[in-house]
């Protein structure tokens, strides 16, 4: 129990040292999963161990941080942390996400180089043992396009709040040069730039593998203050954005256990009915991609609403059946 308490205090110290703006007591409590009073006691304990901690007025509350960081002895990564990093890098590489894989491998090398010789020798055998015993199952699907130069240009434009131009081999006018305000990148089965083109328009998605001749322009291009990339992503099922609709799905009781653990959408609500079936509701666009996913449930799922999704599923079933001689 004492060891667990010490570990939690060290976790809090790391949070306070890793936050530039500092944390409020409520943020500490939420991050640690404790009550506000417990968070206050833990803060005081950390303050006693690290007197360099400072309080910053942020009316109507205060923020706390350890501005000088922590000594390396408190920051030594565990074998489990290093193995998780390696496994994540290997998973990216296996799925075709070479650029992000390279970033994680570089981070692993930096962490190992920063360890003292004795600590590195102590942790290395455990890391290799865990890496050999754990892996990520790679699912069938397209390999995402991750050209380092393309991602670098997009990231530089985002960091510099600058406009971006590129030639786009897609849409209704292939080969046209676009000038946009970059908002972010969505990683998935295919990778997309989310950006605004022109004034007064809505955010659009541009496939990275169809972009070329990228240039960061010497023009200011700030995203709208109310834009949230996560909220934009949550409006769709997968990557496709179209009309937002209320989706209602009913899963048979034979698959109820699977349905209760399944994540269909970030905004979903799940309820088990009296007959044992499970009702899932959420709001999203992207009915075509949703219908593709629902294929995997076979006859164990019923589309209650919307009618557009039912029609899309019937159309996809007909095309699949026609391709295989069903009719």
pLDDT in tens, 259-306: 999 988 888 999 999 999 999 999 988 888 888 889 889 889 999 999
Is position 42 within any domain? yes
Strands in 192-197's sheet, in edge-to-edge order, are 204-207, 192-197, 176-186, 162-168, 211-220
Question: Cα–Cα distances in Å, from 174 out to 169, 190, 192, 198, 288?
Answer: 4, 19, 17, 18, 23
Same domain, 116 and 164: no
The band of 316, judged by pLDDT with boundaries at 50, 70 and 90, is confident
Please state the rounded mean pLDDT for residues 137-165: 84
DSSP class per residue in 50-110: -TT-EEEEETTEEEEE-TT---GGG-PPPHHHHHHHHHHHHHHHHHT-HHHHHHHHHHHHH
Residue 53 and residue 111 share a domain:
no
Residue 70 CB coordination number (10 Å): 16
pLDDT for residue 187 is more than 90: no
Rounded Cα gap, residues 217 and 90, in angstroms: 35
Q: Specify the pLDDT at position 71.
A: 65
Tell me, yes or no, whether 142 lies in a domain.
no
Residue 186 resides in a domain: yes
Same domain, 268 and 195: no
Same domain, 212 and 250: no
pLDDT score for 3: 56
Looking at the predicted structure, is the pLDDT value of residue 155 above 90?
yes
> What is the rounded distance in angstroms from the CA atom of residue 257 to the CA atom of residue 254?
8
Q: How far is CA 10 from each of CA 51, 53, 84, 149, rounded to the nearest angstrom?
A: 14, 13, 20, 39
Average pLDDT (221-239) is 85
Domain count, the chain: 4
pLDDT digits (tens, 9 = 90+) for 96-150: 788 899 999 999 888 888 777 777 788 888 888 888 887 766 665 666 678 889 9
Q: Looking at the structure, tell me whether residues 55 and 83 fall in a common domain.
A: no
- Assess whether pLDDT exceeds 60 at residue 73: no
Spatial distance between the Cα atoms of 311 and 287, rounded to a whole number of angstroms: 10
pLDDT more than 70, % of the chain:
93
Domain ends where: 209, 235, 261? 235
* Residue 158 shares a structural domain with residue 228: yes
Is position 72 within any domain? no
Residues 275 and 316 in one domain: yes
Instruction: Tell me if 73 is assigned to some domain.
Output: no
Helix (H) or strand (E) holding 216: strand 211-220
Quote the mean pLDDT of the chain: 87
Across the range 157-163, mean pLDDT stands at 94
Residue 74 lies inside a defined structural domain of this protein: no
**Confidence band for 178, pLDDT divided at 50, 70 and 90:** very high
Mean per-residue pLDDT, 26-53: 91
CATH code of the domain in which 42 resides = 1.10.10.10
Q: Taking 90 as the threshold, does the pLDDT of residue 1 lie above it?
A: no
Q: What percent of the chain has pLDDT over 90?
A: 44
How would you classify the pairing of strands 192-197 and 301-305? unpaired
What's the confidence (pLDDT) of residue 234? 83
Look up residue 143 and give its DSSP letter.
P
Question: How are beta strands 278-284 and 301-305 bridged, if at all?
Answer: unpaired
Q: Which of 177, 211, 235 is the last residue of a domain?
A: 235
Which of 75 and 268 is assigned the larger pLDDT?
Answer: 268
Residue 139 lies in a domain: no
C-alpha–C-alpha distance, residues 52 and 65, integer Å: 9
Residue 231 placed within a domain: yes
Q: Are 153 and 231 members of one domain?
A: yes
Question: Whole domain around residue 127: which residue ranges?
Answer: 79-133
Which of these three, 65, 96, 118, is where a domain ends? 65
- Domain identity same for 253 and 231: no
Q: What is the pLDDT of residue 243?
A: 81
Does one domain contain both 199 and 154?
yes
**Contact indicator for 257, 238 with CB cutoff of 8 Å:** no
Please tell me which of 79-83, 213-217, 244-248 the model is most confident about, judged by mean pLDDT.
Answer: 213-217
Under 8 Å CB-to-CB from 139, ≥6 apart: which residues?
A: none
């Amino acid at each position: 129990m004492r060891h667990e308490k010490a570990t939690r205090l060290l976790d809090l110290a790391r949070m306070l040292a890793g936050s530039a703006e500092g944390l409020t007591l409520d943020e500490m409590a939420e991050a640690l999963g404790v009550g506000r009073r417990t968070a206050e006691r833990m803060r005081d304990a950390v303050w006693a161990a690290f007197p360099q901690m400072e309080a910053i007025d942020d009316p109507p509350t205060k923020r706390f941080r350890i501005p000088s960081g922590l000594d390396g002895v408190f920051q030594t990564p565990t074998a489990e942390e290093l193995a998780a990093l390696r496994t994540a890098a290997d998973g990216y590489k296996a799925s075709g996400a070479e650029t992000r894989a390279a970033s994680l491998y570089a981070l692993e090398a930096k962490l190992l180089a920063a360890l003292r010789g004795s600590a590195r020798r102590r942790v290395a055998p455990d890391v290799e043992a865990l890496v050999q015993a754990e892996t990520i199952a790679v699912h069938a699907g397209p390999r995402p396009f991750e050209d380092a130069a393309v991602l670098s240009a997009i990231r530089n434009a985002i960091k510099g709040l600058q406009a971006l131009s590129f030639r786009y081999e897609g849409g209704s006018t292939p080969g046209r040069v676009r000038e946009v305000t970059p908002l972010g990148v969505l990683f998935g089965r295919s990778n997309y730039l989310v950006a605004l083109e022109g004034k007064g328009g809505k955010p659009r998605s541009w496939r990275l593998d169809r972009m070329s001749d990228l240039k960061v322009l010497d023009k200011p291009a700030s995203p709208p203050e109310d834009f949230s990339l996560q909220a934009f992503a949550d409006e769709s099922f997968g990557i496709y954005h179209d009309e937002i609709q209320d989706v209602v799905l009913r899963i048979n009781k034979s698959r109820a256990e699977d349905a209760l653990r399944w994540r269909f959408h970030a905004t979903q609500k799940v309820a088990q009915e009296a007959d044992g079936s499970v009702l899932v509701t959420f709001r999203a666009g992207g009915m075509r991609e949703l219908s593709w996913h629902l294929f995997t449930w076979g006859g164990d799922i019923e589309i209650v609403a919307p009618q557009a999704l039912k029609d899309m599923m019937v159309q996809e079933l007909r095309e699949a059946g026609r391709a295989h001689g069903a009719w």
